[in-house]
A and B are shown apart, each in its own frame.
Chain A
Amino acid sequence: MKDIKQAVIFFSFYLKVYWKALSLGAILTIMATYFQVTAPVYMGKSLTELARFLTTWMNPMTRSTASKEHFYTALLMLLAFYIANAIAMFLSSMLISKVSSEATGQMRHGLFGKLQKMTIKYFDSHQDGKILSLFTSDLDNIFNAMNQAIFSLFSNLALWIGVIIVMFQQNTKLAWVTVISTPVAILFAWFVIKKARTAIDQQQDAVGRLNGFVNEQINGEKVIITNGLQAQSLHQFTDYNKDVRQTTLKGQIYSGLLFPLMQGMSLINLAVVIFFGSWLVLNDGMDKAVGLGLVATFVSFSQQYYQPITQITSIYNMLQLAITGARRLSEVHQQDEEIESENTENLPYIQDKVTLKNIHFSYNPGKEILHDVTIEVKKGEMVALVGPTGSGKTTVMNLLNRFYDVDAGQVLFDNQDIRHVSLQSLRDHVGIVLQDAVLFSGTIAENIKFGQPTIDDQAMIEAAKQAHIHDFISSLPDGYQTKISDENSVFSTGQKQLMSIARTILTNPDLLILDEATSNVDTVTENRIQKAMDNVIAGRTSFVIAHRLKTILNADKIVVLRDGQVIESGTHHELLEKEGFYAELYHNQMVFE
């Protein structure tokens, strides 16, 4: 019930703007329904008139008065109703198509926009695949439902009610006969739907598990091959597949049962109507011509009466999926967005220093990662963060760029708390090279120009040269216009990182953060980048997170983190003399002659 409420709110939000088209569509639907249910009446009438004519004509006494005029009128009416029905149906269906594809387009736009605004926390705590399925399956389900189900529900209800009204106008007894079996049909349908739903749920679960398994295994095929685990993998697969086998069989049977069942019920009902109708004509002393027309009319009615019931039950599943989809989308829309405090200012260029002041931070409540960390970078200086894995280096970076907000303490640019400046200007000032290089599909040029799409090629090539990737790119047949994607690129891991360095260099950031940016580049290349980087870093305030100490020997300050605490800090020489944690790291890592 809560789902339905949420879905209604969600749909009304997106459909509000289309109220005119929707009302028009509704009117047209009702009109189409009216024409559709009235047409059989005229068909009956024309048959009746024809029969009357025949009776009159057969009788030699009255033959001269026989005229088909009434028949022609009825036939013309029938024709008019058929045409009107087609036109109304066409127009309403067009409106509905337009509204549903546009509304879905809006939802897609809204969803993507929302994702762009949400906090990093959301992405860190939700699986990409789950989020992605909002685009791939939920939006799809909603579109299908709007296009085929929601409006069809409306028009079928209209049709159903229309048929009932007209039937009772025509002949009460026959009308009762037609509708009497409805509760039985609905009961059957309800039972089958309920069964089908549980079965389908189980089926979807099993299929989801199987898909997840297949995905993971094939992505990890290198491990499977190198360890010779193929048989084992196949064995596991068979288990998942067996599950899918069993649940799918049930799911398919129950969900496939509905249609033949309803159609069968409709057939039986039709038979009953015909049977009873003819009995009525013969025993109720009805005019035979009228009776003939009546039976013919009710044959049509009986089919039309059952059609909406069959339709509604068969779209039930679609509706259910759309409701679930709407719920998931509204849940996303309810997620926190990145907080922009109100009177935000633009961050000016760094004048003096960037400070992390007495910072406490936890990703999850109760599990503090950073404990009272204080780090200061003077303008134009380079501060290096070192420390074992998991000590919180990346976390510090997350805070500097406001991917996360501190629990206590402050991140200050000069004396400005970053929570009081606009996110946009903060991130304009801060340039990051992330640990995992990510590329986007598009050309190499587009990737380097990612942060500055409008910049000229000269600057791009300059950046590529500084990152020592220009020569490689030039060696490609298509050069900078080579098409790449994250999975399918011409780059090695190290080269990918060079790309992301080039991308960052191009934005000319005020504060530069390098998160182990060169850990997958060989030291010779790194040395070359380093020289270029030295130029980039020169005069620029920077944070460098590195495992390779060689890259940070020239740092103005080295801060050693351990378990979320600063345990040492100073220049390379100072720290070596201290003979503490850093000195040990250094001795372990470097080659001494």
Chain B
Amino acid sequence: MHILKRHIKTYRLDIFFAVISVMVMAGATLLQPRLLQEILKAIMASDQDTVNQYGIALIAVACVGLIGGILNTIFAARVAQGIAADLREEAYQKVQSFSLSNIEKFSTGHLVVRLTNDVWQVQSLIMMSLQSLARIPILFIGAFILAITTLPKLWWVMILMIVCIILASQILFKRMGKYFGRVQKLIDRINTIAKENLQGIRVVKSFNQENNQQQKFDHDSDNLTQLNTTIGYLFSAMFPGFMLIANLAITVAIYFVSLGVASHPQDLAAIPAFVTYLMQVLFAIMIGGMISTFASRGLVALRRIGEVLQTTPDLIDEDVNDMTIKGDIAFEDVSFQYPESNDTTLKNISFNIKPGEMVGIVGATGSGKTTLAQLIGRLYDPTHGNVLIDQVNLKNISQESLRRGISYVLQRVILFSGTIAENLRQGKQDATLTEMQNAADIAQASEFINRYDDQFEHLISERSANLSGGQKQRLSIARGVIGQPKILILDDSTSALDARSEKLVQDALATHLKDTTTIVIAEKISSVRHADRILVLDNGRLVGNGPHETLLKESAVYREIFETQRAKEI
């Protein structure tokens, strides 16, 4: 709740008006039966003037109610969407301050849900609260009091009805809450199955698993149907049940009025008003119950957003300095363990890289190459030891300086929907056309970019569906080199390129980014063979560090890798 506090303050005037208008509306609703009663009394007394007076009052009250309702909607909408948008912005800002491990802890999918769906739920909650929450207690208490003053003798009928309804709804809503939780779980499961079948449709088809998948899907789907039916039954009982309780109360009331009608004839005129109040009490309870179910959902959403807002970023800058990176890298006894993992992924790694060096990293899949590279880019902080750039601990270098100096081409290419130019400019915001062309040349991307009529303005669609794997990698490399970084990390970035293009990229890098410290992670020895030095990783340990020839002699691990790639004698 407290995350809303500040926002509530921003909109306090609107909230004030929303509450006032809803009170006016409720007041109008409450006044009406009372006026009706007066009119009926006047009819009994054949008093035309009084009837006219009250009649006009009645219409006036109705109009006031209508206006109140409209104003309330407008103010409530202003508050609800305003707070929701502010909240969304606040949460997004928070997420953008997160480090990668923060995001992994939440998982990408969940974060997206929190920013989209959950905020939407909160918005509905606020809207509903302002439209009804204030009205329900007023209506309930007002109608209750007025009903009792209308026919004081029958106070117990009201109490009895309320007790019955509250008891009944307690039972119903409790069960329903339980069912709703299960429904949500099933829906999630069904969506997961559907999603995986979309992503893996080729696998499903090539293994002829359509029927099995359908069965798996139907299992959950049938359970959902069952549950929906049960919930439907509960709802079916609810409305008629409540109505019946109220109607029974009405009948009882009329009966008891009739018993004493001889001594209290004015009670007769009070019956319609009493009935109306009774109905109002009933509706207040019903709507209140409904809102509380919705509200609990909204409150869950609010709590989940709260979790995002209250998370502190894992990587905190403490007395950082801006500096121009030259490209010297040093690892001092670095160990690293992923937050969610129980193994150390990197174990006591130490090495130095001089500015302008080209260093290759090889090792089996899962040996920790990507992890090591991520430490250089400070996507994570080491759990032990230090990573230094130009002899300064990474933790003391401003993010700004790091991002300017280091460029990291990811193993899994991520491009954003938008133009090619927009994607390249992510590497350098103010890149000129010439710079883009140069970068594209280095990455061997010019060849296919030039084939588009609109060249750099060509649109990349969602999930880069209109590009091949090789094209994506080339754009990703181009984005990496466009800023002329001092340190360039290529994490298996040429795996989808054919050998010729790969060679061209390497040559271009060697000529255009001579002074850049380049770290090339590769599966292929040929990609790193000409590097100044090669680091060999095995199961998180650094087991080799030296040029190709030396490693061949000294490192068994390296030799094994090399053997698998050696050209066969012709």
Contact = CB atoms under 8 A, between A and B. Distances in A.
Interface in A468-500: 485-488, 492-495, 500
Nearest to B198: A128
Interface string B302-324: 00000000000000000000000
Q: Which 9 A-B pairs have the closest CB atoms?
A: A97-B232, A264-B66, A260-B69, A228-B403, A389-B470, A494-B365, A105-B225, A275-B55, A101-B228
Interface string B88-132: 110011011111100100011101100110001001000100010
Contacts of A253: 73-74, 77
Given A291-B43, A440-B200, A450-B207, A82 B568 contact: no
Contacts of A264: 62-63, 65-67, 69-70
9 contacts: A78-B251, A220-B416, A226-B407, A267-B32, A279-B52, A291-B43, A390-B468, A500-B203, A519-B495
A54 interface: yes
Interface in A127-158: 127-129, 131-132, 135-136, 143, 147
Given A101-B228, A223-B414, A389-B471, A401 B206 contact: yes
Interface stretch (B136-144, B173-181, B188-196): B188-196
A177 interface: no
A593 B566 contact: yes
A450 B209 contact: yes
Contact of A222 (B51, B100, B250, B365): B100
Interface in B476-510: 479, 492, 495-503
B525 to A, nearest CB: 5
Contacts of B73: 253, 256-257, 260
Contact of B225 (A102, A241, A401): A102
A218 B120 CA distance: 18
B469 A389 contact: yes
B365 A520 contact: yes
Interface in A314-361: none
Contact of B59 (A98, A109, A211, A275): A275
Contact of B261 (A50, A100, A439): A50
Contact of A521 (B25, B78, B365, B462): B365
B80 interface: yes
A109 B218 contact: yes
A319 to B, nearest CB: 19
B13 to A, nearest CB: 16
A75 B84 contact: no
Given A54-B265, A228-B404, A434-B203, A256 B131 contact: yes
A153 B52 CA distance: 38
B58 interface: yes
A58 interface: yes
B40 interface: yes
Contacts of B28: 267
A440 B189 CA distance: 12
Contacts of A270: 32, 62
Interface stretch (A167-175, A242-250, A409-417): A242-250
B429 interface: yes
Interface in B507-548: 523-526, 529
Contact of B112 (A215, A226, A388, A588): A215
B417 interface: yes
B561 A116 contact: no
A524 interface: yes
Given A227-B426, A228-B400, A270-B32, A450 B203 contact: yes
Interface stretch (B4-12, B155-163, B236-244, B388-396): B236-244
B98 to A, nearest CB: 8
Contacts of B433: none
A253 B68 CA distance: 14
Contacts of B459: none
Contacts of A112: 194, 197, 213-214, 217-218, 221
Nearest to A105: B225
Interface in A243-286: 244-245, 248-249, 252-253, 256-257, 259-261, 263-265, 267-268, 270-272, 274-275, 278-279, 281-283
A105 B202 contact: no
Chain A contact patch, size range = 35 or more
Contacts of B36: 274, 299
Contacts of B69: 259-261, 263-264
B408 interface: yes
B171 interface: no
Contacts of B55: 271, 274-275, 278-279
A366 B244 CA distance: 69
A244 B85 contact: yes
Contacts of B214: 109, 112-113, 116
Interface string A487-516: 110001111000010010001000000000
Given A228-B403, A264-B66, A93 B268 contact: no
Nearest to B423: A223
Contacts of A547: 495-496, 498-499
A86 interface: yes
Contacts of B51: 275, 278-279, 282
Given A112-B194, A216-B416, A252-B81, 8 more contacts: A105-B222, A123-B201, A260-B69, A268-B62, A279-B48, A388-B500, A427-B207, A503-B203
A297 to B, nearest CB: 9
A219 B108 contact: yes
Contacts of B500: 388, 584-585, 588
Nearest to B60: A271
A212 interface: yes
A19 interface: no
A295 interface: yes
B427 A83 contact: no
Given A271-B61, A274-B39, A403 B399 contact: no
B570 A573 contact: yes
A281 B43 contact: yes
Contacts of A89: 239-240, 243
Contacts of A299: 36, 272, 276
A23 interface: no
B221 A222 contact: no
A267 B62 contact: yes
A383 interface: no
A553 interface: yes
Contacts of A85: 240, 243, 247
Interface in B27-52: 28-29, 32, 35-36, 39-40, 42-44, 46, 48, 51-52
A86 B247 contact: yes
B62 A105 contact: no
A87 to B, nearest CB: 8
A122 B519 CA distance: 41
B232 A98 contact: yes
A588 B503 contact: yes
A57 interface: yes
A77 B380 CA distance: 78
A483 to B, nearest CB: 12
B351 interface: no
Contacts of B236: 90, 93-94, 96-97
Interface in A575-592: 576, 584-586, 588-592
Interface string B246-271: 01101100110110011001001101
A252 B502 CA distance: 55
Interface stretch (A9-17, A232-240, A457-465, A536-544): A232-240
Contacts of B560: 524
B537 to A, nearest CB: 10
A108 B112 contact: no
Contacts of A424: 208
Contact of B116 (A105, A211, A590): A211
A432 to B, nearest CB: 5
B411 interface: yes
B377 interface: yes
A453 B566 contact: no
Contacts of A129: 462
